[in-house]
Amino acid sequence: MYAVIKTGGKQYRVQAGDLLVVEKLDGEPGAAVAFGEVLMLGEGEAVTVGAPTVDGAVVSGTLIETRKGEKVKIFKKIRRQGYRRTRGHRQTESVVRVTSVAGAGKEIKWDGVIDLTPKVILNARARGLGDAAVPFTIPVAAAPVAEAAPKKKAAPKKAAATPEDGEA
């Protein structure tokens, strides 16, 4: 069974167990999310189209993380005028694991385990860094390390007196 839902001004075709990246949703990781705007339900040849939404249909999920998406570069230029501007933008997005699709008297649930590991850590593990992507915090009570004073340079040696200089 699948459903077409609307969230963040976009439409997504989802089924139980899908990992979905949508516009930012409120909530902490692990929070339950319900999408009430179900535009269509389908199971094989049987399709139920809403007008505009299917009554009583709900798609449920679990919020895995909220993160920033890929960087979009904005570049402006006016030729022969020396005008160039470069800016960047990273849109916030939420990752949701769809756990159930319910409607038209049926409900399909996903029986897998939800892993709340963020993408940053998964990418670090894929590169062989383990959990090195987890930010390291410095303990506040750590005593400052005393550094050794810099050594002074030795004064240049005076040339030995020679008989030509009049000293003996």
Q: What predicted TM-score, i.e. pTM, was given to this entire model? A: 0.71
Local structure of 124: helix, strand or coil: helix
pLDDT value at 143 more than 50 = no
Better-scored residue on pLDDT, 112 or 145? 112
Alpha carbon distance 11, 4 (integer Å) = 7
CB atoms within 10 A of CB 59: 29
28: CB partners within 8 A, 6+ apart? 63
pLDDT, one tens digit per residue, over 116-137 is: 888 888 888 888 887 665 555 4
Confidence of residue 148 (pLDDT cuts 50, 70, 90): low
Alpha carbon distance 50, 160 (integer Å) = 104
pLDDT, one tens digit per residue, over 30-58 is: 999 999 999 999 998 999 999 999 999 99
Instruction: Examine residue 135 and say whether the peptide bond preceding it is cis (omega within 30 degrees of 0).
Output: no
**In the chain, % of residues over pLDDT 90:** 64
